Amino acid sequence: MKVLRYIIFWMDLCLTFSQGYRILGIFPYQSKSHFNMFETLTKGLAKKGHQVDVISPFPQKRPFVNYTDLVVIPPQLNIVNNISYNTAKNIWTVQIVSNVAGNDICEHLAHPDIQKLIHNPPKDPPYDVVLIQVFAAHCFAIFGHLLNVPVIGISPPNLYPWYNSFVGNPKNLAILPNNLLPFVNPMNFWQRIYNTVSTAINQIYFNHLTEYQDEQIRKYVGPNLPGVRQLEANISMILVNSYFSLDGIRPLTQAIIEVGGLHVQDDNSKLPPELRKWMNESNDGFVYFSFGSMVKIESFPRHILDIFYKSFGKISPVNVLIKIANPEELPPGLPKNIRISSWLPQLKVLKHRNVKAFITHGGLLGTQEAISYGVPMIGIPLFSDQFTNIANYVKKNIAVKLDYENLSEDDMDAALNAILYNSTYRETARKLSQQFLDRPLKPIDTANFWIEYIVKYGKDALRSPAMDLNWWQVELLDVYAFLLLALIVIVYITIHLTLMFLNMISSKVNIKVSRVKKML
């Protein structure tokens, strides 16, 4: 019987591997938080029997079955635990995204190992699909053209203004705020105007700045190849880190697949014994404070750090756990109820029974983790979509927002008291968690299904008919112009005929009057 079970097991394993595809994942941008989603996705695909080759700055520390670090990208900028307060305030503009996360990243096309892949791709077996990050470095979609396979985009943030045109997705600017703006739906009239103008300007400016990638493709890959705009239009599908229960109801083309929270998977890592003991013994609860994998809390101005120290000290015996990359840079005077660490297993912390609240800058991946475990938040947004994220959570009554530029001790005290002692926030967070996680399929299974769907049925399987129209046709401007012209013509003819009729009546009346006068 044991032998039979072993035979069945190995037959099943072989069958699984034989059905697997070979996947090339290209994620060269050095953002650890973004890579968390890519890593979870690609490892999930590898577990399902697909062979995944990855190009990234973050190689695996231990071997993983079916997962190969094909090319390790050297970091151009050290942004992991290295973004200061002053940099964070000015980090997020379309220009910086287009250049630092776009054009500069495309210079990696010159990497010797990537050049080998360009000129001598594997053929036994060949690749079936290419996964790339849709953010700014869309030059890497050229691999879909070179390998003659579909390209699927992965977006760790929500949809940026320039994404919609890639797959013909409707912008819906009346109900969907640009995620670079701190608006929530419903927007008032002036916000809708600002949203419309800002979105148009952002997209035009992004396209202008990233046109340089056409030259990089010609320089590093070859002449007579598609430009970056054409490559974007050839993207078959985008897996986006959003979900309607959290981000709201909106019309989406079938080529936008929502897999929000895909990265929220327990990796079975163990808590350090001392940390586990501290959390278990925090019987009055503890607050978790982290600004993600980039921003250094210790670089904040002294007056803001003093506010944190004083406010955190007041909530004792509630403890505070803070992720500080360089503890030696903190000023003295840390309250006794605070524990600091340069690294923390965030999922384990947020999952712990004693965690009461999460103080965050509002990064999408970290806040999705808190929402998944029903943890209410205090949001202190610094840049990018963090303002939009926190505004959304405030509207849903699971967070309190603070303004870092005008932060006062009273504001911090009030936020802590509200989030710790007003049970409404935690109850709402738990309900939203249940709604966010309630789905027909897990996000990784959804992603796997649609990736396989594209491979099986071709790169145009989910292509929107809107991709074959000009923008003014999609917006029905030609139809509106025709209807307006027709209305003008009808009004003109009506007025002209009316005047003619009135003139005729007037003429007849005048003739009769003249006859009467003659008779008299």
Q: What is the mean predicted confidence (pLDDT) over 362-374?
A: 96
Higher pLDDT, 270 or 219: 219
Q: What are phi and psi of 357, to 5 degrees?
A: -165, 160
Task: Summarize the confidence of residues 322-347 as an average pLDDT.
Answer: 92
- Looking at residue 79, its pLDDT comes to 66
Where helices occur in 315-358 by DSSP H, the ranges are 346-351
- Taking all residues of the chain, what is their mean pLDDT, rounded to a whole number? 91
Rounded average pLDDT over 16-39: 87
User: What whole-number percentage of the chain has pLDDT above 90?
Assistant: 77
- Percentage above 70 pLDDT, the chain: 93
* Residue 123 binned pLDDT confidence (cut-offs 50, 70, 90): very high
82 pLDDT tier (thresholds 50, 70, 90): low
Query: Residue 284 has what DSSP assignment?
Result: T
> Packing angle between helix 212-220 and helix 189-210, nearest 10 degrees?
30
Question: How far apart are the C-alpha atoms of 97 and 104, rounded to whole Å?
Answer: 10
Pairing of strands 355-360, 256-258: unpaired
Length of the chain: 520
Residues 6+ apart with CB under 8 A from 56: 25, 27, 28, 35, 38, 69, 72, 73
Residues 6+ apart with CB under 8 A from 353: none
pLDDT tens track for 309-324: 999 999 999 999 999 9
Whether pLDDT at 28 is above 80: yes
Instruction: Transcribe 104-167 into DSSP letters.
Output: HHHGGGG-HHHHHHHHS---SSPP-EEEEE-SS-GGGGHHHHHHT--EEEEESSS--TTTHHHH
Residue 10's pLDDT is 44
What does the pLDDT read at residue 293? 83
Q: Copy the structure tokens of residue 239.
A: 């897996």
CA 514 to chain centroid: 82
In what order do the strands lie in the sheet containing 286-290?
Answer: 338-341, 319-323, 286-290, 355-360, 377-379, 399-401
Q: Cα(195)–Cα(180) distance, rounded to whole angstroms? A: 9
Q: Does 367 have pLDDT greater than 80?
A: yes
CB count, 10 Å around CB of 410? 10
Q: For residue 94, what are the contacts with CB-CB under 8 A and spacing of at least 6? A: 180, 202, 205, 206, 209
Residue type at position 445: D
| Per-residue confidence (pLDDT) for residue 1, from 0 to 100 | 43
Average pLDDT over residues 347-374: 96
In this predicted structure, what is the pLDDT of residue 497?
Answer: 94
* pLDDT confidence tier of residue 161, bands split at 50, 70 and 90: confident
